[in-house]
Amino acid sequence: MEYALTIMYCRLADQLQSTALNIRMNVLMWQVTLSTVLTSILIITALKADTGDHAAVVSGVHGFCCALWLGTAAWGAIFQGVMMLQLLPRHDFGNLQSRVIPAMFQFGNLCMGLAVLTFLHQHPLTSLSGQDFKQLFVMTISLLSSMINNVWFLPEGTRIMHVCHKIERDVGEGRAIRYLDMKKFEGDHKYHMLRKQFAFHHSGTQLSGIISCACVAYRVAYLCSRSAI
C-alpha cells in the first residue's frame, strides 16, 4: 500500500512540475520572440538612419541572423544543457529539454532561412562566383541540418523518452539528479531496446546540431574577415 501511494505521489508531482515547466517555457519563448523582433527593428531602423542604403539594411539583417543563431546554438548546446543536467531531476531535465531544444531549432530555421534569403537577394543565382556558391552551400547545410532535427530526430526521440519515463516511474525511478538504478530494469528487454533507440536519435540530434552550428560559425567567421555579405 505504501509503495502504491509513493508511485501515485511521484506521478502527481511529475504532472504538476511538467505543467509548471510548460507555463514557464511558453512565457520565456514569448519574451525571446518579442526581444528578437524589437532588436531587429532597432537594428534596421539604425541602419536606415545612418546610411539610407537598402543594401546595408539587408547586409545587417543577414549578419544579425547568422550571429544570433550561432549564439543561441552555442548556449543551448554547451552551457544550458550541462547546467540543467547538474541541477534538475532526471525526468524534469528530459521534459524541459523536450520543450527547449525543438524551440531552439525552430528559431534556428527562422534565422538561417532569413540568412539564405537575404544572401540570395544580394547575390542572385545567375551571378554567383565560386566563393559565393561555397558560402550559400554552407548556409544551406546549416538550415537543412536544423530542419532535419525538427522533422525527424527530435520528435521521435521525445516520443521514445516519454515511453522510457513511464517505465521508470512505474518502478519508482526518475526523481534523482542524473542517477538511475539500472538493476531495476534487468531482464526488461523492451526498456533496453527503447534506450538504444533513444541513444540513436539523441546522437542524431547532437550531430545535426554540431553541423548546423559549425556551418554558421564558418559563415560568421567569413563575414568578420570580409565585413560584408
Three-state secondary-structure class, residue 41: helix
* Alpha carbon distance 154, 104 (integer Å): 11
* Interacting residues of 66 by C-beta distance below 8 A, sequence separation 6+: 111, 112, 115, 139, 216, 219, 220, 223
User: To the nearest 10°, the Cα dihedral for 74, 75, 80, 81?
Assistant: -10
Considering the entire predicted model, what is its pTM?
0.73
For residue 79, the 8-state DSSP code is I
* Alpha carbon distance 221, 197 (integer Å): 36
Residue 200 has pLDDT above 90, yes or no: yes
Kindly state the cell numbers that stand for 34. 518579442
Kindly state the cell numbers that stand for 182. 539500472
Of 37-41, 60-64, 172-176, which one has max mean pLDDT?
Answer: 60-64
pLDDT at residue 44, rounded to an integer: 53
pLDDT at residue 216, rounded to an integer: 94
Lowest mean pLDDT among 3-7, 197-201, 205-209: 3-7
Three-state secondary-structure class, residue 124: coil
Q: Taking the domains of the chain in order of start, what are their residue ranges? A: 2-226
Please name which of 104, 77, 29 lies closest in space to residue 85, comparing C-alpha atoms. Answer: 77
Q: Is-contact 62 69, C-beta < 8 A?
A: no
Q: Is-contact 76 100, C-beta < 8 A?
A: yes
Question: For 112-122, how does the pLDDT look when each residue is reduced to its tens digit (9 = 90+)?
Answer: 988 998 898 88
